[in-house]
Structure formats: structure tokens, C-alpha cells
Amino acid sequence: MAQQDFALSGVYAAALTPVTADMDPDIGLMAAHCRWLLDHGCDGLAILGTTGEANSFGLKERIGILNGLAEAGIPGDTLMPGTGACALPDAIALTRVALDNGAGGVLMLPPFYYKNPSDDGLFAAYSEVIQKIGDARLRLCLYHFPQMSGVPIPFSLIERLLKAYPATVVGMKDSSGDLDNMIGAARNFPGFAVFSGSDELMLPLLNAGGAGCITACANVGSGLAGQVYQGWKDGDDVQAVHETLTALRGAIVKFPLSTALKTLMARHSGNDGWRNIRPPLMRLNDADRDTLFVTFDAIGYQIPPLP
């Protein structure tokens, strides 16, 4: 299928948020990780998402992370921060800070505490944020992750939002694992950038008109994901690389994603601080850590060296 022009596209890492032994965000280490990802296959960074433990951080902390990365020199236009929240004032505040720091887009969960909301209610929630922001720079991607949020984003809602805000609502990250849903969104809404939240579904989604991927495993496999995306754009045969990327994800998803990825980063960097994680998430036990390493190493993929 012919490539489309999207406001946002490519490979985005659902970036990890390292924390100190005191469980505070480690901005210096996070900024270094962001630079490394951008140097190794990522077109952008979806910070403060599920993998980044966003909902384990308070509003003040999340704002501090956004400002801290800007102060550390991470280009704002490479960032797609997660700004969804149960409370609309929090979503509005986070989105304003993201825009003030030059974010290329934002990724927004629906308000997720109250289950089975109507389309009218979800439309009103997104509309309230967009209206209160009132900024033509805003590029908003919806975040469809019903297994985690409990609040799906149906096509009927996408249609309403695109009709009301065609220049603002530009895409969606689909972490449902349902390829048919991703392809349906891409085909029903031309120009709407649909990103796969699963590495193994990126290539079939690209072939069906998708925009790329936003994935957790890009934290360690960004080079592979970048090869798949760029090779696909160039018309190359990327099936073998895609299969390696799929195997990499398969090794990691046997364990809680954030925990497993931080464990791999700790080994790769030699910095055991990478293993710090906020409860209720916990470190891998020794047996699971060993199993992860054996399974990961069997793939034969080498994580790019750190500077």
C-alpha cells in the first residue's frame, strides 16, 4: 500500500523512566537514555506512558520530568508525552507543559477510572481538553489500551473527534494487540496515523496503511525497529529483521514489561540503579532474571553500545 503523509510517523520508544533508590525520577539518566534511543533508530520518544510508569507518578513529578528533559536539551519535537489523566485539569496541565516545551504531539489515555462511559462522555472529555488548551500547535494521539485502561476507544468516537478537530486529533496508539482493529482504523480514517503498540504487528500494519509503532521493547530493540521501518519505506525485504524483532519481544513479554526492560538496561549499562521501580511493580527475582537473560541472549541480538 502506498505510504501516506502523517503528522506523526515512524518508530517511537515507549521510554522507560529510571528512578533513584529513593524512588524519585532520575532525570539525568532518563535524558541520557533518550539521547541514546534517538541515536539508535528512534524517530521519537513516547515518554510518560504505560512503560514509563506514568500513573505511578504524581502531577508535579510528571511536570518535573517534562521540564527536566527540556532543560537537559532533549528536543521537544521528538517527544510524544503521555498526558492522559482521570482528572481533566491534570490532563490539561500536562498537555500545556508539553506544548510549552515544544512537544511534537501528545498521547492521551481517556479518563479511565469510570468504566463503560458513553461516546458522548468520552467525546466531551477529549473536547474539554482541546478547547481549554486552545492552541493550534496541539497534535493529539488517542491511546487505545482497553486491557489496561478498561476504556476502549471505538471507531465511532474517532469519527466524531476527527470531524470536530481534524487538525488536532491526528492519530492513535493501539496497544490492544488486535491487528484487525488497527487495520480497520487505518483504512476507515485515511491520514489518521495508527501506531502499533506491539512490535510484531508493526510490519503488517505498515503494509495496511499504518504509521509506525510506539513500543516498550524499542527501549532495547530500537535499532531493529528502525531497520524494519526504514527498510519498509525504502521497499526492501525486511522480513528477517522483523522476525528477530518479534523474537525479541517474545522473550521480554513473558515478564512485566517495565521490570524486564529495566533489568536488561541494568545489565547492559552496568548500572544496577536501572532496576529501581515503583511499587506495586517489583524487581524480577533472581530466577526470572536468569531466565530472561538466557531467552534474550538466545536471539543473538546485541543491544547497541552505550556512549
Active site residues: 50, 113, 143, 173
Report which of 193, 121, 183, 123 is spatially closest to residue 159, judged by C-alpha positions.
Answer: 123
How many CB atoms neighbour CB 94 within 10 A?
24
Q: How far is the C-alpha of 189 from the C-alpha of 67, rounded, in Å?
A: 34
Tell the residue number behind the cell numbers 506495586, with chain if given. Answer: 280
Contact present, 274 and 297 (Cβ < 8 Å): no
Contact present, 159 and 189 (Cβ < 8 Å): yes
Contact present, 216 and 51 (Cβ < 8 Å): yes
> Cell digits for 169?
486529533
Q: How far is CA 194 from CA 114, 133, 150, 219, 290, in A?
A: 25, 23, 20, 20, 36
Report which of 95, 55, 101 is spatially closest to residue 78, judged by C-alpha positions.
Answer: 101
> Cell digits for 148?
489496561
